[in-house]
Structure 1
Amino acid sequence: MAHEELPFDFELLCELTETNGVPGYEDRIRDIVRRELTDEVDTIESDGMGNLVATVEGTGDQHVVVAAHMDEIGFMVRHVTDDGYLKLDALGGWDARVLKAQRVTVHTDDEDLTGVIGSPPPHTLDESDRDGDDTVDDVYVDLGRDGDEVADLVSIGDFVTTQQSTTLMGDHVTGKALDNRVSVFALIEAARRLDSPTATIHLAATVQEEVGLRGAQALGVDIDADVAYGLDTTVANDGPNFSKEDRVTALGDGAGIKLKDSSAITNPTVHRRLTALAEKREIPHQPEILPAGGTDTAGLQFAGGATPAGAISFPTRYLHTVTESIHVEDIEAVIDLLVAALETEDGSTDYRL
């Protein structure tokens, strides 16, 4: 499939995923979201943590918030050795096994520097090295410079991201930071497609989700919504070496409608309404029960009091790697279901249990 054939703005999705922003340092992503949403919404504001909220005023009294986090997993420089190697502190959940021989970007105050995560050649490893458990503490970044030059260029606290382009691979989009830039992208696409909603819609691009849902928790206090939706990626263990019951979701089977994850149990009325909408509009969909992992849904659900909450998810293979992959039809299905949910929120649904 060529990107010209896609029903959504693939170039914008690439820009969002290839641009870098770790928890607490989402500035570059926030600038793109503000640029894209300013002309699509009635107001747009940011807060002291960096959450960005774009509001489409409705004709009724209902208020709805949709949250998608801007941050990606990454690192912060915690030490620079005398020889010029960087030691890292993880920002978010990394499986250190996937980091060997990765190219990274070190973001300093003055410039972005390319580095590589060192990996010794297999010829030099003994049996105990091959069987060892890798941790982020073992990782180092080589900048190809001597110690004095690195000391002048890099400071403790500079952030580090992996380097990867986003591309089409058959019917899949693959790259880094699809978790969760694909959801930020969906917020933008939804704003473009919404037309005179009854409810006032707050489209929230949140911060610091990967380190504890922090932005959404703060936002849940600031916005008094009648219903909240989280928007995020979810596990698709639909490849080899997984049993069918461990799949969670499967690529190409449609939008995930969350029932639960380890941080939230969604409101039954919300997820039943989403399912009924998907069936009525013939939007491909699948139920999602995620055994481990949380989303901004939980941050919104009770931060400011009891709020009915649900979530729509993008089935994603290889989460928290640089080769995350999502089916193009699932991207469109999530956007379609999100727009359907927002344009039909009119205050007539009683979410109390």
Structure 2
Amino acid sequence: MAFDFDFDLLRDLTETSGVPGYEDRVRDLAREELEANTDRVRTDAMGNVVGTVEGDSEYSVAVAAHMDEIGFMVKHITDDGFLKIDALGGWDARVLRAQRVVVHGEEDITGVFGSVPPHTLDEEPDGEEEVGDRVVDLGRDAETVEELVSVGDIVTMEQSTVKMGDSVTGKALDDRVCLFAMLEAAREIENPDVTIHFCATVQEEVGLRGATALGSAGRARAGSRTQSGNVDIDPDLAVALDVTIASDIPGVSEDKHVTKLGEGTAIKLKDSSVITTPKVHKRLTSVAEDEGIDHQLEVLPSGGTDTAGFQNTNGATPVGAISIPTRYLHTVTETANGDDIRSTIDLLTAFLESEDGEHDYSL
């Protein structure tokens, strides 16, 4: 059962590039899936894509998962043809040594982060490593590099997505695995009672910017598209999907695991950006129990998700969040369990199919 889903689509989504503000390629994939499985699809001025399934009720639910992955932007080209880069999202510079990248210049170019071999190190470097200290080597002379690359070009990690035992590993599972789960739920859900807006959002990794723009858009008439390029959804309820920490590995105490791989989808209670609405996370838990869906509860000490982008940007909105436990976040070996992915799809689908607009989420 570990891979009871469309692995090829998941692989396509994770291997496709799309850093904050430059989600074009993955947005095309998301839009294609939403056009096939929703009633109408719109894109706003920031690049958020919203696919809407019309229900019989005026009550509406927004479901959000972000498209962007962490990456870099070229900020300087040295006289020797090496690239200096600026981070787009939160990186631990230690994991970048000797990794392969793709520079999206005049064409897609393979490069590597340079690393000094241990043979020539007299001692360990002092102080913390910074992303700004890393350089990208393109294996070309400076004149050729100047012809192919410009300041402002985007850099992403080069990594394939593969099955590893009962798990999936690769880059950009944050948050493409949840984008995938949302798209699969849009495919599987049939004739919902309420209107559902499936939102593929942008720029989450640099401050939840896309979801906040969608949440703010409710000032105008729901469902309209304004001259400013807003897509106004004005939901009565919002549920966001994102990965969460699974530090269930040797060397980490159990109280810091947050979640564990293989124990099911995670129902979020809090992170540093949001405390989910108690009645929403209780209903998520009730649906999981009634449907026999493996689940666990998530209390995340730090980190934020698109959930916060909807909670209070246009007045107060009840919010919930579903997470996929993932090891090694913000690296090129992010790892999630296949059954946990399936459980996430099942819980989201069951929750949406059972939403009739009559549940009282008020406090």
- What is the TM-score of this pair, normalised by structure 1? 0.97
Amino acid at match of 1:98: V
Where does residue 14 of structure 1 map in the other structure?
11
Q: Which residue number in structure 1 is paired with residue 23 of structure 2? A: 26
Show the 5 A alignment for 1:285-300.
Answer: 285-300=295-310
Q: Report the secondary structure of 2:36's partner residue.
A: coil
Alpha-carbon distance in structure 2 between the residues aligned to 1:126 and 1:279: 58
Distance (whole Å) between structure 2 residues aligned to residue 53 and residue 111 of structure 1: 30
The aligned amino acid for 2:42 is E
Shift of 1:132: 3.6
The answer to whether the aligner puts 1:331 opposite 2:326 as a matched pair is no
Task: List per-residue Cα deviations over 1:143-165 (Å, max 9, x = no partner).
Answer: 00111111111011000000000
How far did residue 344 of structure 1 move? 1.0
Tell me the residue number matched to 1:208: 203
1:158 matched to 2:158? The reply is no
In 2, Cα distance between the equivalents of 1:307 and 1:250? 30
Say whether the 8 Å CA contact 2:212–2:310 is kept in structure 1. yes
Identity %: 64
The answer on 1:69 being equivalent to 2:79 is no
Q: State the alpha-carbon separation in 2 of the partners of residues 157 and 39 from structure 1.
A: 34
Q: Which moved more, 1:119-128 or 1:293-302?
A: 119-128
Q: Which moved more, 1:305-314 or 1:183-192?
A: 183-192
Task: Report the 3-state secondary structure (helix = DSSP H, G, I; strand = E; otherwise coil) of the residue aligned with 1:30.
Answer: helix
Structure 1 segments (4+ residues) deviating >3 Å:
none
Give the drift of 1:7.
Answer: 1.5
Q: 1: CA distance between counterparts of 2:18 and 2:9?
A: 16
Is 1:350 aligned with 2:347? no
Superposed displacement of residue 62, structure 1: 1.1
Match of 2:109 in 1: 113
Matched, 1:196 2:206: no
Aligned counterparts, 1:1-353, within 5 A = 6-108=3-105, 110-129=106-125, 131-222=126-217, 223-353=233-363
Could you give the per-residue CA deviations for residues 299-320 of structure 1, whole angstroms, max 9, x where no partner exists?
Answer: 1111111000010000000000
Paired with 2:46 and 2:169, the residues of 1 have a C-alpha distance of 30
Q: Is the contact between residue 82 and residue 137 of structure 2 (CA under 8 Å) also seen in structure 1?
A: yes
Equivalent residues of 2:3, 2:339 under 8 A apart: no
- Deviation (angstroms), 1:60: 1.1
- TM-superposed CA distance for 1:124, in Å, is 1.2
**Residue 133 of structure 1: how far off its partner (Å):** 1.5
Partner deviation per Cα, 1:71-127 (whole Å, 9 max, x = no partner): 00000000000110000000000000000000000001x310000000000111122
Question: What code does the residue aligned with 1:202 have?
Answer: H
1:62–1:345 Cα contact (<8 Å) kept: no
Hey, what's the Cα distance between the residues in 1 that align with 2:129 and 2:122? 15
Give the length in aligned residue pairs.
348
Task: Letter of the 1:290 partner, please give it.
Answer: L
Which sections of structure 1, spanning at least 5 residues, go unmatched? none
Structure 2 unmatched ranges of 5 or more: 218-232
Alpha-carbon separation, structure 2, partners of 1:323 and 1:277:
32
Cα distance in 2 for residues equivalent to 1:294 and 1:237: 17
Matches of 2:122 and 2:87, distance apart in 1: 27
> RMSD between aligned alpha carbons?
0.9
Residues 176-211 of structure 1 deviation map (CA, whole Å, 9 limit, x = unaligned): 000000111111101111100001000000000000
Structure 2: distance between partners of 1:243 and 1:90 = 30
User: Would you say the 8 A contact 2:279–2:361 is kept in 1?
Assistant: yes
SS in 1 for 2:31: helix
Letter in 2 for 1:20: S
Q: Tell whether the 8 Å contact from 1:179 to 1:233 is kept in structure 2 after alignment.
A: yes
Report the alpha carbon displacement of residue 41 of structure 1 after superposing the two structures with TM. 0.7
Q: What displacement does 1:128 show?
A: 4.1
Once the two structures are TM-superposed, the CA of residue 34 in structure 1 deviates from its matched residue by 1.1
Give a deviation string over 1:233-284, Cα, whole Å, max 9, x none.
0000100011111110000000100000000000000000000000000000
Structure 1 counterpart of 2:51, which letter? A
